[in-house]
Structure 1
């Protein structure tokens, strides 16, 4: 029997991805078996292979879909003022990250578990996203609105700082999302030497 009686492919496929993402984020990719994922989904382990060839392909799919969603959601405005562009990036990145904390965690912590070919694919997508922020910083330096010693290092440092919010922020805490985002915007301005 491939699926639990009453299960449907259009439900099982997305549920498989959601449960795998949750389990990988909570326990780590290496510690999670396909059997655990199947149990969480409510199907037999063999049924998972109708949706993914193996656990490696599943991890790659989760990371790739996250990066594609991120790239699709982010829209830069190259003709705008560099500081306005940077503020939009900061606010976007924090909001997207807080809306997808498990996917963000996997993108940073489980990248090491990808095969070399899969790693190269995800690195290319990450590079495209990083290039967008790099372009903003370079434009800011060119106009004199920002002062950084190395745009690439500043790009990577800012992304790491912004993404780090998912490690500690909890809804209902002392500061709401808007206040946290305002604080991070101030930190980002300082990090690029903005006036």
Structure 2
């Protein structure tokens, strides 16, 4: 029997990805077996291979799709570099808070990618980082930002913004809006000329 009765290709494929995401985030890629993923989905272990060739492909596709969706979702607004930077900061926080498991996997499981898959993910991450660096470079050219090394500032800002996913919980002391406002203020002060 290839599939548990009642399972369908149109729904089982996404269930396989969702189960892999949950299990990788909870236990780590190396500790999760295809048999565990199958059990979580409710199919025979052999049936997983109808949806993915292997566990490495599942990990890679989760990371790739996350980054491709992030790149597609963010559009620079009209206006100067300060307006674009604010939009980037707020968008990054909002987007990532909705996907904490994907964020965790995207950073913690890079070491488990094959060299070819790692290169592709690094390329997508570089594309995203380049968007922020272009904003910072434009701000320096406008005289609005005082950033001696835009590449370093890019990495620092992304690291700070992404870190929100490690501690934020809905229903906590701060709302999502509060977090966006506070983090935008910190980013603004870190890059603006005179720390304004």
TM-based fold match above 0.5: yes
Q: Which runs of 5+ in 1 are unaligned?
A: none
Please give the per-residue CA displacement for 1:138-183, whole angstroms capped at 9, x wherever unaligned.
0011111111120000001100100000000000000000001000
Q: Which runs of 5 or more residues in structure 2 are unaligned?
A: none
| 1:181 lines up with 2:180 in the alignment | yes
Query: What is the CA RMSD across the aligned residues, in angstroms?
Result: 0.9
Find the aligned partners of 1:109 and 1:80 in 2 and give their Cα distance. 35
Specify the SS of the correspondent of 1:16: helix
2:160 aligned partner = 161
Where does residue 74 of structure 2 map in the other structure? 74
Q: Where do residues 132-151 of structure 1 align in structure 2 (5 Å cutoff)?
A: 132-151=131-150
Distance 1:55 1:191 in 2: 41
In the TM superposition, what are the counterparts of 1:1-40 in structure 2 within 5 Å? 1-40=1-40
Aligned partner of 1:171 in structure 2 is: 170
Q: CA deviation at 1:42?
A: 0.5
In 2: Cα distance, 1:190 partner to 1:103 partner: 29
Displacement of 1:193 in angstroms is: 3.2
Report Cα offsets for 1:75-132 as digits up to 9, x if no partner.
113x521000000000000000001111111111111110000000111111110000
Cα separation, 1, equivalents of 2:31 and 2:110: 15
Q: TM-score, normalised by structure 1?
A: 0.97
Secondary structure of 1:164 counterpart: helix
Cα deviation code 1:49-71 (max 9, x no counterpart): 11111000110010000011101
Matched residues in 2 for 1:99 and 1:175: separation? 16
Q: State the alpha-carbon separation in 1 of the partners of residues 132 and 109 from structure 2.
A: 23
Task: Report the number of matched residues.
Answer: 194
